[in-house]
Structure 1
Amino acid sequence: MSVWLPTAPCVSPECATHSGPLTGPLTGIARLLVGIPLVLAGVLLTPLVSLLRGSLRDRLTRLWAGAVVRSFGLRVRVVGEPAPPRGSGFLVVSNHISWLDIPLIAAVFPGRNLAKSEIRGWPVLGAMATQGGTVFVERERLRALPGTVRTLAAAMREGSRVIVFPEGCTWCGQDHGRFTTAVFQAALDAHADVRPVRLTYRGPGGEPSGAPAFIGNDSLGVSLWRVVTAGGLTAEITVLPVIPAGRHTDRRALSAAAQTAVASESAKRPASSVHQRVSSIPAAESSVRTPS
C-alpha cells in the first residue's frame, strides 16, 4: 500500500459513537431541510462570489461556511489566534474527521482545498469544490504528485491560503494518522508559513464525539443522518501557533512539527479547560425548534 493511499483503523459504528442525547427524527429532518438547501445555495452562488474582491469574498465565505455547520445542528467554537492578514499565502494543515471539516475550516480560513480526485464526481459537493478552486490529486498516480506540489506552491506564492488534510483519510477523532510530507514541500518551495489547526467534535459534556466521523463503510447519507440526530454537538476548531517559513528546511521535519502540534494532548481536554481566546456561535437548533 502506498503511503499516499493511507488507511485508518477506524470503523463504523464501533468508532462513530455519541454519548450525548439523540434528537427525534423530526428534528433531524428539519435540520436537513435547512442544511441541504444552504449547501446548494453555495454551489449556485460560488461563481458570483468568486468575482468579488478578496476581503468581501472571504467574509461571505466565512458566513456561509459557519451557517452550513450550524444548520446541521452543531455549535461552532473557535479557539486560538486570528488569521494572518490577507495577501500572504500560507498552508493550513489539519487532522481529518468528517465532511464537516471543510466548511468548519472555511469558517475561519477560506482558501483553496487539496482533495482526492474522487470528490470531483460527488453530487453537489463535487461541483462546489471545483468551482471553489479545489486542487484535485489522483492519489493512485504518484507521478502526478510533483505537479500537484508545484500547483500548491504557486497558489501560496500568489497569496492564497491552501488547506490540506495531510493524514490523507478520515479518522474517528480519538486518534490521528501520520502526516504525509509531500504537501509540506509546497510550503518550503513557496517560502510560506504553516498554520496547524486541530478539529474536535464534542458532545454536550465537552467529551469528544464520534458522531460526525465519516469512516469505514459510511455513505454520505448515513453520516448526515447520524450528525443531524445527535444532540448537543459542538464543532471546535483550535487555531495553533504558526510555524514560520524558514524554521524547518526539510519537509519531514516540517511535517513532524505540524503533526505534533495537531496531535497535542490538549485535544483530549474538555473545551472548558482550554485557556485561549474563544468565540462561540450557537447552533441552528437555537433558532429552529421542532418536537423530538
Structure 2
Amino acid sequence: MPVSPCGSACLTTGAPTVAFPRRVLRLLAAAGVVLGALPLAPVLFLLGPAARRRSVRTLFRGVLRAFGIRLVVHGGDDLRDLPEGRGALVVNNHISWLDIIAINTLRPMRALAKREIAGWPVLGGLVSRAGSIFLDRERLRTLPGTISELAEALRSGSLVSVTPEGTTWCGRGSGRFTTATFQAAIEGGVPVRPLALRYRLADGRETTQPSFIGPESLVESLRRVARLRGLVLELFVCPEIAPGKAADRAELAVLAESAVHSALGIARIPAQNRRHPAAPSAGSPRKMQGTGHS
C-alpha cells in the first residue's frame, strides 16, 4: 500500500478562521444536507440521466456551501457535458475528502474507493449507493478482480473516479501515480481524464489545512475545514489522454501524472528523487505557483 509521509507537521499556519458558533453551524448544515439526501437516494434512480446528474450536483454543491468553500473550475465544459455512455477513467491528485465532493459537483460519477469508506456513518451509505467499486487494500490478492470490475464499468460507459496515488498527501508534496488502475483503462478501451486539485485562501496563499493526512480521524479533519475562512478549492480539467496514446499502463500513469503537475505549475520529479517539502511558517507563507488555466 502506498504510504505518505504527510502528517500534522505539514499543516500550514496563519489561515483566517471563523468564530466557534459559525463552525458549529457549518457542521450542522453539512450534516443536514447529507442526512436530507439519504431518503431521497432511491428516488434519484427513477429520474432520467440529466435530471439525476443535476440533483447529485446540487447535493454536493450544498456540502461545499455549508462549509463556506468556493469552487473554481478551470476548463471542464467538455467533461460536464459529456454524454451518457462514454466511459473514462478520471484520475486526480489526492489531498482531502473534499476532492470527491468537488469532482461530483463538476460531474457526478462512480468511484474506486477503499473498502473502509463503506463503513463510514452516513457518507458510507451515499458512496455505496452511488455505485462505487470498493478496493480491499488489506487483501491485495483481490486486486486483479477489482481491476476487472473497474474495466467492465468503464467498458459499459461509466465515468469512474480514481486516486492513483493510493493515499492522501498534503498538497505541497505528492505521490507517484501507481499503475494498476490504468490497466483498467487499457482493457476497457477508454480515455483517461486527469484532474488537478489544490486548496488556497482568499488572499491567494496555498493552504494544506483541508488535507486529510496522518493518523487523524475524519471528525478531526471536518472540524479543521469548518473553521477556515475564505477557502477556495481549485479544480483543473486537463485534456484527455486517448486510448492507444501510451504503450502500456506505466507510460499511461506517467502521462497522467505529468498532466496534473503541469496544470498545477510544478515540474514532475522522478520517483527516486522525490522529497517531501517542509510546511511554511505563518511568517513565510508559500504563494501560489502560476495563475492557472481557464
Q: CA RMSD in A?
A: 1.6
Q: After TM superposition, give the deviation of residue 222 of structure 1 in Å.
A: 1.2
Q: Which residue of 2 aligns with 1:25?
A: 20
Deviation per residue, 1:141-184 (Å, 9 max, x gap): 22211111111111111111000001111110111101111110
**2:262 matched to 1:264?**
yes
CA positional deviation for 1:44: 2.8
Aligned 8 A contact 1:206 1:272 in 2 = no
Moved over 6 A (4+): none
CA distance 1:246–1:121, shift in 2 (3 Å): same
Determine the C-alpha separation between the residues in 1 that align with 2:137 and 2:147: 13
**Equivalence for 2:291:** 273
TM-score by length of 1: 0.88
2:249 to 244, 251, 254: 251
- Of residues 23, 31, 34 in structure 2, which corresponds to 1:39? 34
Residue 70 of structure 2 is aligned to residue 75 of structure 1: yes
Structure 2 counterpart SS, 1:91: strand
Residues matched between the structures, number = 271
Deviations 1:175-211 (A, max 9, x none): 1101111110000011101100011111122221111
Residue of structure 2 aligned with 1:216, choices 214, 217, 235: 214
* TM-score (normalised: structure 2): 0.88
The answer to whether the 8 A contact 2:182-2:253 is kept is: yes
Whole-Å Cα distance in 2 between the matches of residues 236 and 273 of structure 1? 11
In structure 2, the residue matched to 1:204 is 202
Q: Which residue of 2 aligns with 1:287?
A: none
1:180 corresponds to which of 178, 181, 190: 178
Give, in whole Å, the separation in 1 of the partners of 2:41 and 2:230.
Answer: 31
Following the alignment from structure 2 to structure 1, what is the Cα–Cα distance between the partners of residues 263 and 84?
A: 31
Give yes or no for the alignment of 1:10 onto 2:1.
no
Equivalent in 49, 52, 59 of residue 57 of structure 1: 52
Match status 1:190 vs 2:188:
yes
Q: Does 2:93 match 1:95?
A: yes
- 1:271 to partner: Cα distance: 8.4
Q: Which amino acid counterpart does residue 251 of structure 1 have in structure 2?
A: R
Deviation at 1:73, TM superposition (A): 1.5
Q: 1:164 maps to which residue?
A: 162
Q: 1:57 to 1:162 in 2, by over 3 A?
A: same
Give the Å deviation of 1:260.
1.0
Is this contact kept in 2: 1:188–1:249, CA < 8 A? no
Question: For structure 2, which runs of at least 5 residues remain unmatched after alignment?
Answer: 267-286
Query: Which amino acid is 1:121 matched to?
Result: G
Displacement of 1:218 after TM fit? 1.2
Asked if structure 1 preserves the Cα contact closer than 8 Å seen for 2:60 and 2:102, the reply is yes
2:149 to 148, 151, 163: 151
Q: What secondary structure is seen at the aligned counterpart in 2 of 1:238?
A: strand
SS at match of 2:40: helix
Q: Which residue identity does 2:3 align to in structure 1?
A: T
Q: 1:18 Cα deviation (Å)? A: 4.3
Q: Which has the higher contact order (CA 8 A, sep 6+)?
A: 1
Question: For 1:109-124, what aligned pairs fall within 5 Å after superposition?
Answer: 109-124=107-122
* SS of equivalent residue, structure 1 residue 118: helix
Once residues 19 and 250 of structure 1 are traced to their aligned partners in structure 2, the CA distance between those partners, rounded to angstroms, is 44
1:200, 1:267 within 8 Å by CA — same for their partners in 2? no
Which letter maps to 2:2? P
- Native 8 Å contact 1:21 1:230 kept in 2: yes
Contact 1:113 1:134 in 2 (8 A): yes
**Matched residue type, 2:139:** R
Deviations 1:204-240 (A, max 9, x none): 2222111111111211111111101011101111111
In structure 2, the residue corresponding to 1:44 is in which secondary structure?
coil
Distance in 2 of aligned mates of 1:265 and 1:158: 29
CA distance in 1, matches of 2:240, 2:126: 29
